[in-house]
Chain A
Amino acid sequence: EKQSSSSSTQPATGSASGGAIKIGHYGSMTGSEATFGVSTDNGIKLAVKERNAAGGVNGKQIQLITYDDQGKGQEAVTAVTRLIQQDGVVAVLGEVASSRSIAAGPVCQREGVPMISPSSTNPQVTEIGDMIFRVCFIDPFQGYVGASFAKNQLKLDKAATLYNRSQAYSAGLNKEFVNAFEKLGGQVLIQQAYADGDNDFSAQLTAIREKNPQFIYIPGYYTEVVNIARQARKLGVTCPLIGGDGWVSEELKNAGDALDGCYFSDHYSQEDKRPEVQDFLKKYKSEYGKTPDSMAALGYDAANLLFDAMKRAKSLNGHDLADAIASTKDFKAVTGNITINEHRDANKLAVIQKIQGGQFSYYATVEPPK
C-alpha cells in the first residue's frame, strides 16, 4: 500500500523516500518498442514489491524509479544521467536493446554506478567497463544453443535464417547461429532479412522456400514471429522454425497452429518445479493477468540479483556494489542459476521449448560448448 511497488517518477524529495534505497530502471516505456520496456518494468516492479513486502534490503525499503527513454539513445543517456545525478540511485537496471545499453552504459561506468542489463545480448555491452553486468545470454551462447540443438538433437543439416537486420539482437544472434551451425558441420542455405516495421515476409519466405531448407532459424521477437509463422505456413513452408528467447510469450498462441512443432531456446522452463519459477509465474499472473515473457522474467531476475548483491555488499557505494554483483555465484533466479563470469556476463544453462497448440513446454537442455 505504501510506496511499496512505486514506479513513481517523482524526483527524490527526501520526505517521500525516507530511508529507502533508490534503484533506477530505464527502458522504452512508450514508442514502438514499448512492449519490451513495459514487460521488463513489470518484472522489476514485481521483484521490488516482493522484496519490500519481505522487509526490503538490510531493513530498508526499495524505491524504484522508472524513466522512459522512448527507445532513443539520447533519451537513454539523459534518463540514466538523471537517475544517477538527480535521483541518486545506487544502481541502474536496463536496457532491453543493446544499442541503448551501449549508449547509456558509459554514463554508469563514468559515474561509478553499477548497471545490470536484463536482456541486452550483444557481447559488447559488458565490455564498456567493470560497472556493467547482465543476466541474460549473450548472442554467441544462444546462437550455439540453437545450432547445436538443431544439428545434434534434431539432426538437421540444412538451415535457412530469417532475421531482423535493424535489430541488434536479431542480427547478432543470426550471425552467431550461422557461425556455430557451420562450425558444427551444418549448412546455411540462405539468410534473409527484414526490418523493423515490416509485416509482410512472404517475399523472404518465398526465397527461402526455393532453397528447401530443413528448418528456418528465426532469431526475432515474438511480435514478429507470429506473422512470420503464419505466412510461412500459407506459403507451404512446412519445416520447423527455431528461435531464441525473444519468442517467449503467451502471445505465441496468436499463431494458432502455425508454430506447432517449432522450437526455441529459453532460459528456463515454466514446468520447472523450482520454487523460484513457480512462485514467479503465479505472482506475475495474479499481478498482471498474463504469463510473463522472457523480458519480464529477466527484469525480475536482474532486480533480484541486484538485491542479493546489495545484501552481500560492504556498502551501497558503487564499487562495493559492483564487486558484490561480480562475485555472484549460483544465484537462484527464475531464468536459471546465474553465475556472473569474468566478463560480467551471466553463465547459465539454456533449455529448449517446444510449441504445440499455441503452448510451449520443456523439450531439452543444452549444455554450453566445451
Chain B
Amino acid sequence: MAETAMLRKRMSVSASESPEELRPPAWSFVPRAFAPLLVGTVVAGILYFFVQPAIGGFGSNLLLFAGINIILAVSLTIVNGFTGQFSIGHAGFMALGGYTAAAIVYYGSFKIYGDASFHGGLVSWTGRAGGFRGPLLGSGDLLFVGATVAGGIVAAAAGWLVGLPSLRLRGDYLAIVTLGFGEIVRVVLQGTDEQLRRYDLELIRSTPMLKLMNKLGGALGFIGIPAYSTVFWVYLWVAIMLIVAVRLKHSSYGRALLSIREDEIAAQAVGVNITRYKVRAFVLSSFFAGVAGALYALQIGSINAGELGFQRSFEILIMVVLGGLGSVSGATLAAIILTALPEVLRFVDQYRMIVYSLLLIIMMIVRPQGLFGVREAWDLFRRRRPRGGA
C-alpha cells in the first residue's frame, strides 16, 4: 500500500541524535542568564540619569507610576493570563508588600540611624532638596532593597495561602475568594495601631521588629516613610519582572501554566501537577505585587490600605485584559496607557471619569481580545516565530 509506505517513511525520519549536541557550551551560561538583566540595568540607569532630569518632575512621576503599574499588571498576567486563574485581589498583595517594606524601612531607619529621614545613595537620590552627599551606594539603599524583597516575600507567603483554595475553586468562585482576601487585608491593615513616631525613638529602639509590625498607622495609613524608590529601582524591577514573565511564557514551565488555563484535565493527563503549578503561579505573582507595593510606598512616602481595595485590583485587572490576556507586552503597554490616560483626560474636567469609563467600554467592545491578543508585540512583526531552542 502506497500510504503505508509513506507512513513508514515518515516514521523513520527521526534519526537518533546524541543528546550532548543539544547542550550549549558551558561558558555561554552567564551571558545567556544575565545579559537581559544587564540591559535592563543599563536602561534603568539611562532613565534615571538622563531621561528623568529631562522630563521633569511631572513626567518622572508618571514614569514611576507607570513602572509600578507595569509590575502589577505583568505579575497579575502570570496568574490571570497564563494560568487562567481568575484573581481580583491583587491590590491586597500590593498592600501587604507595601506595608511590610514601609515598616522595615521606617522602623529600621530609626533603629539604625535614629531618625526616619533619607539615608540613600546615588541611585536612590531623587534630587529633592539640596545637593547629593553621602556614600555612592548608601547604606540606606541596602535597607531599601532588603525591605523591598521582604515585602515581596510576605506577599508571596500570602499568595501561597490564597493559591491553596484555587485548587478547589473555579472561575468566578475563585475570583470572589481573592476579592474577599483583598478586602480582609485592607480591613485588617486599616485596623492596625498607630505608628510610633520620632518622639518614641527609645520605644522603637527597644521594641523588637516583629512587635512593631502591628503599628502600621491604621486609618491614616503608614506615613513619613523615607522615599527611596527612584526611577532606577522601579525600572530595575520592571526589567526583572519582564524577564521573568517572558522567559516563563516561552518555556516548558510557562506552557504548563498555559495548559492549566486551557484544560486542567488534559494538562493532568500530560503529567502536569496542576496543584503545584497553580500555587506557584500565585506565589510568583504575588511576590512581584508585593515588590510593586513596596516600591509604591517608598516612592510616595506613605501608603494607605483604604486605597488598595478591590477597586485598585480592578484597575490592575483592566490593564491585564486590555493588554490581551496572557500577553506580557500587552499588559506592559496597557499599564503605560492607563497610567497616562487619566492625565491626558484632565482637559475634560469633571467629565473625566465619565470619558474614562466610556473609553473602557468602547475599548472592550472594539478590541475584545485586548491590544495584542494572547500574542506579544514582537510576534506581530514576525510571521513565523522560531521559538524555543530551534
Residues of A within 8 A of B (CB): 7-10, 29-31, 67-68, 70-75, 77-78, 81-82, 84-86, 98-99, 102-103, 106-107, 110-111, 122, 124, 164-168, 170-172, 175, 195-196
Q: Judging by beta carbons under 8 Å apart, are B190 and A195 in contact?
A: yes
Say whether, besides A75-B342, A78-B61, A195-B190, A30 and B350 are in contact (CB < 8 Å). Answer: yes
Name which residue of chain B comes closest to A38, CB basis. Answer: B350
Q: How far is the CA of A10 from the CA of B347 in the complex (A)?
A: 6
Q: Judging by beta carbons under 8 Å apart, are A77 and B300 in contact?
A: yes
- A195 proximity list for chain B (CB < 8 A): 187, 190
- A68 proximity list for chain B (CB < 8 A): 350, 352-353
Q: Judging by beta carbons under 8 Å apart, are A9 and B346 in contact?
A: yes
Say whether, besides A30-B352, A102-B221, A124-B220, A196 and B306 are in contact (CB < 8 Å). Answer: yes
- A171 proximity list for chain B (CB < 8 A): 218-220
Say whether, besides A30-B352, A102-B223, A106-B301, A166 and B306 are in contact (CB < 8 Å). Answer: yes
Q: Judging by beta carbons under 8 Å apart, are B349 and A9 in contact?
A: yes
Q: Judging by beta carbons under 8 Å apart, are B350 and A99 in contact?
A: no
- A86 proximity list for chain B (CB < 8 A): 58
Residue-wise interface mask of B (338-375) relative to A, using a CB-CB cutoff of 8 A (1 in contact, 0 not)? 00001100110110110000000000000000000000
What distance in Å separates the Cβ of A20 from its nearest Cβ neighbour in chain B? Answer: 18
Report B293-326 residues with CB < 8 Å from chain A CB.
296, 300-304, 306-307
Query: Interface residue tally of chain B, by bracket?
Result: 35 or more
What distance in Å separates the Cβ of B374 from its nearest Cβ neighbour in chain A? Answer: 30
| B387 interface hit (Cβ, 8 Å) | no
Q: How far is the CA of A88 from the CA of B373 in the complex (A)?
A: 42
- B352 proximity list for chain A (CB < 8 A): 30, 68
**CB < 8 Å: which of B61, B220, B224 contacts A172?**
B220
Name which residue of chain B comes closest to A163, CB basis. Answer: B219
Residue-wise interface mask of B (220-264) relative to A, using a CB-CB cutoff of 8 A (1 in contact, 0 not)? 110110010000000000000000000000000000000000000
**Could you jot down 11 A-B contacts, CB within 8 Å?**
A29-B350, A30-B350, A30-B353, A85-B57, A99-B221, A103-B301, A103-B302, A107-B57, A124-B197, A124-B223, A166-B306
Q: How far is the CA of A195 from the CA of B302 in the complex (A)?
A: 21
Name which residue of chain B comes closest to A41, CB basis. Answer: B350
**CB < 8 Å: which of B61, B62, B220, B301 contacts A98?**
B220
Query: Which applies to chain A's interface (DSSP): helix, strand, loop or mixed?
Result: helix
Say whether, besides A30-B352, A82-B58, A85-B58, A99 and B218 are in contact (CB < 8 Å). Answer: no
| B32 interface hit (Cβ, 8 Å) | no
Q: Judging by beta carbons under 8 Å apart, are B61 and A165 in contact?
A: no
Q: How far is the CA of A98 from the CA of B221 in the complex (A)?
A: 10
Q: How far is the CA of A233 from the CA of B322 in the complex (A)?
A: 50
| B65 interface hit (Cβ, 8 Å) | yes
| B2 interface hit (Cβ, 8 Å) | no
Name which residue of chain B comes closest to A82, CB basis. Answer: B58
Name which residue of chain B comes closest to A84, CB basis. Answer: B57
Q: How far is the CA of A7 from the CA of B349 in the complex (A)?
A: 9
Q: Judging by beta carbons under 8 Å apart, are B220 and A102 in contact?
A: yes
- B62 proximity list for chain A (CB < 8 A): 78
Say whether, besides A171-B220, A195-B190, A81 and B61 are in contact (CB < 8 Å). Answer: yes
Q: How far is the CA of A195 from the CA of B300 in the complex (A)?
A: 25
Name which residue of chain B comes closest to A70, CB basis. Answer: B353
- B302 proximity list for chain A (CB < 8 A): 73, 99, 102-103
What distance in Å separates the Cβ of B358 from its nearest Cβ neighbour in chain A? Answer: 14
**CB < 8 Å: which of B56, B128, B219, B347 contacts A85?**
B56
What distance in Å separates the Cβ of A5 from its nearest Cβ neighbour in chain B? Answer: 14
| B269 interface hit (Cβ, 8 Å) | no
Q: How far is the CA of A356 from the CA of B234 in the complex (A)?
A: 56
Q: How far is the CA of A75 from the CA of B343 in the complex (A)?
A: 9
Name which residue of chain B comes closest to A74, CB basis. Answer: B65
Q: Judging by beta carbons under 8 Å apart, are A8 and B349 in contact?
A: yes
Q: How far is the CA of A21 from the CA of B350 in the complex (A)?
A: 23
Q: How far is the CA of A86 from the CA of B57 in the complex (A)?
A: 9
- B45 proximity list for chain A (CB < 8 A): none
| B129 interface hit (Cβ, 8 Å) | yes
- A165 proximity list for chain B (CB < 8 A): 190-191, 218-219
Name which residue of chain B comes closest to A196, CB basis. Answer: B306
Q: Judging by beta carbons under 8 Å apart, are A103 and B346 in contact?
A: no
Q: How far is the CA of A172 from the CA of B194 in the complex (A)?
A: 10
**CB < 8 Å: which of A7, A78, A122 contacts B343?**
A78
- B306 proximity list for chain A (CB < 8 A): 99, 166, 196
What distance in Å separates the Cβ of B346 from its nearest Cβ neighbour in chain A? Answer: 5
Name which residue of chain A comes closest to B57, CB basis. Answer: A85
What distance in Å separates the Cβ of B231 from its nearest Cβ neighbour in chain A? Answer: 14
Between B61, B197, B223, the greatest number of chain A beta carbons within 10 A of the residue's beta carbon is seen for B223
**CB < 8 Å: which of B57, B190, B346 contacts A67?**
B346
Q: Judging by beta carbons under 8 Å apart, are A72 and B307 in contact?
A: yes
What distance in Å separates the Cβ of B310 from its nearest Cβ neighbour in chain A? Answer: 12
What distance in Å separates the Cβ of B349 from its nearest Cβ neighbour in chain A? Answer: 5
Q: How far is the CA of A231 from the CA of B197 in the complex (A)?
A: 38
Between A68, A164, A167, A168, the greatest number of chain B beta carbons within 10 A of the residue's beta carbon is seen for A168
Residue-wise interface mask of B (114-146) relative to A, using a CB-CB cutoff of 8 A (1 in contact, 0 not)? 000000000000001100000000000000000
What distance in Å separates the Cβ of A203 from its nearest Cβ neighbour in chain B? Answer: 16
Q: Judging by beta carbons under 8 Å apart, are A77 and B61 in contact?
A: yes
Residue-wise interface mask of B (47-85) relative to A, using a CB-CB cutoff of 8 A (1 in contact, 0 not)? 000000000111001100100000000000000000000
Q: A77-B61, A99-B304, A124-B224 are in contact. List 11 more A-B contacts (CB 8 A).
A: A7-B349, A78-B58, A81-B57, A85-B56, A103-B302, A124-B220, A165-B219, A168-B220, A168-B221, A172-B219, A196-B306
- A85 proximity list for chain B (CB < 8 A): 56-58
Between A29, A78, A171, the greatest number of chain B beta carbons within 10 A of the residue's beta carbon is seen for A78
